Amino acid sequence: MTQVLSRLDELRTAMTGTVVTPDDPGYDEARRVWNADIDRRPAVVAYCTSTDDVAAAVTFAREASLEISVRSGAHSTSGACVGDAGIVIDLSRMNAVQVDAEARRATVAAGALLRDVDAATQIHGLALPSGEIGHTGIAGIALGGGMGWLTRQGGLTLDNLLAAQMVLADGRIVRVAADENPDLFWAIRGGGGNFGIVTSFEFALHPVGPQIEFALLFYGMDQAPDALRVARNTIPDLPADISFQTVALHAPPAPFVPEEHHFRKGFALVVVGFGTEESHRAVVERVRGALPPLFEMVTPMPFTALQQMFDEAYAWGVYAYEKSLYLEDISEGALEVLVEHAGAMPSPMSVVHLYTLSGAYCTPEDAATAFSGGRSPRLAVFIIGMTPDEESHPVERAWVRGLFDALAPHAMGRGAYINGMGGDDAHRVPSAYGDKYARLQRIKAQYDPENVFHRNTNILPAT
């Protein structure tokens, strides 16, 4: 550590950004990440302001034998974006978003948050399919997949990636696209941060909003089995302009929730319309007619409000643990597991999200990208345990693991979403990618044979 600190002037001279060490003001903020369960002390945090800064930081880290972590939005539940005694290459100050409205294209720096992208694109009535929490970083979402409200209409975030600029393990700066380093372009669309540090993305955009149609219908645990059957029956016939999500949660103490139902456990069926009000109303009436909800909220809202709806629930400073898997549908066996474990959910902050993946999600050929999931219709299940304090966190972690283990026999045989993996899921990585893993290993061996970029859902280089 002393030898590293003695050479920091070299890094400060090479960078235009700021270098922070344990002796500097702001160090504790610099090492902080979204998940309060992660408490690590890097030797250096390099706040980069350009691709050249990133290249300088990578070169310095290699020469000083420092383990590299890469931080964009710091939302990695496993804390992959910060390590002990190494260097954090922080991209948060590289957050510009430039929109070409006529071409429906955006150039997005890797430190931008989803709310930055939404704000810049919605000015022009455009949007990028991405995640559902505004303070998430674009880089991790895009490199692993990127699914959310617009997935049925526009595919994954990585399906809309046209090109990227990145820094390789040897410090070289390259551009990747279908016609430029095509092997890397294939690999970074689903392979995560294994092959270098992406500093800028070029994305295709879609006409969206500015207003969308929203409906949340809530069912208590006594209605839960029937609510899940309604979801199962509704999903196969969804119009192309409708997104649908099933969520196990405690009813929030929000104005639209009757006070007697605050913090009540149950399932919400969420219907989001990106087309006409009539199309949206037809699906909502179908759900409501099949099973009247305990309460509901049906309203138009700005697309940006939809994208930030969960921001407060997922606020910085929670203790979090996550696992995920794919279901082909809500079978009776899976239904029984979901009802039983949702009823035992300990913390009112925890949730289970079932994303409906169909429509444009299924359009690309499975082999076209490195994405760790097949392209047949399915549900992506995210089991997220969150608590406000360290003392109650072990109970929530055990609940997440228990639900995951009970659902696993009902899961699809191939694939797992790498953005939904926990820190203890390294053994699942090869099976997540299936036949793609060997190709990813070969590309890893070509561009990062020493596995410099390993603080991620790691792909081992071929030997």
Residue whose structure tokens are 């006529």? 102
pLDDT at residue 290 is higher than 70: yes
Domain shared by 356 and 391, yes or no:
yes
* 183: CATH: 3.30.465.10
Rounded to whole angstroms, how far apart are CA atoms 90 and 263? 37
| 461 is a domain residue | no
Residues listed for the chain: 463
Residue 127's nearest CA partner among 198, 211, 200 is 211
Domain shared by 390 and 265, yes or no:
yes
pLDDT at residue 1 is higher than 80: no
Mean pLDDT of the chain: 95
Domain shared by 204 and 265, yes or no:
no
Phi and psi, residue 199, nearest 5°: -110, -15
Domain shared by 247 and 294, yes or no:
yes
Helix-strand-coil split of the chain, %, nearest 5: 35, 25, 40
Domain shared by 395 and 366, yes or no:
yes
Domain shared by 144 and 259, yes or no:
no
* Whole-number pLDDT of residue 7: 81
The answer to whether the CB of 230 falls within 8 A of the CB of 290 is yes
DSSP state for residue 74 in the 8-state scheme:
-
Rounded to an integer, the average pLDDT of 156-170 is 98
* Whole-number pLDDT of residue 110: 98
| 73 is a domain residue | yes
Domain that holds residue 283: 211-420
Domain shared by 169 and 293, yes or no:
no
Element (H, E) at 290: helix 277-290
Domain shared by 8 and 85, yes or no:
yes
Rounded to whole angstroms, how far apart are CA atoms 115 and 136? 8
pLDDT digits (tens, 9 = 90+) for 206-243: 999 899 999 999 999 999 999 999 999 999 999 999 99
Domain shared by 264 and 304, yes or no:
yes
Q: Is the peptide bond before 348 cis (omega within 30 degrees of 0)?
A: no
* Whole-number pLDDT of residue 3: 59
Beta partners for residue 218, in sequence order: 268, 295
For the ranges 185-199, 314-328, 409-423, the lowest mean pLDDT is seen at: 409-423
**In the structure encoding, which two tokens stand for residue 358, read together?**
């169909």
Rounded to whole angstroms, how far apart are CA atoms 324 and 340? 18
**In the structure encoding, which two tokens stand for residue 417, read together?**
């979403």
* Whole-number pLDDT of residue 61: 96
Please state the domain count of the chain: 3
| 436 is a domain residue | no
Q: Which amino acid is at 401?
A: R
Domain shared by 278 and 410, yes or no:
yes
Q: Which amino acid is at 422?
A: G
Domain shared by 412 and 265, yes or no:
yes
| 438 is a domain residue | no
**pLDDT classification of 425: cutoffs 50, 70, 90:** confident
Domain boundary among 208, 242, 275: 208
| pTM: predicted TM-score of the whole model, two decimal places | 0.95
* Whole-number pLDDT of residue 251: 96
pLDDT digits (tens, 9 = 90+) for 300-343: 999 999 999 999 999 999 999 999 999 999 999 999 999 999 99
Rounded to whole angstroms, how far apart are CA atoms 227 and 365? 33
How many helices (H) and strands (E) the chain has is answered by 15, 18
The answer to whether the CB of 159 falls within 8 A of the CB of 131 is no
Domain shared by 84 and 173, yes or no:
no
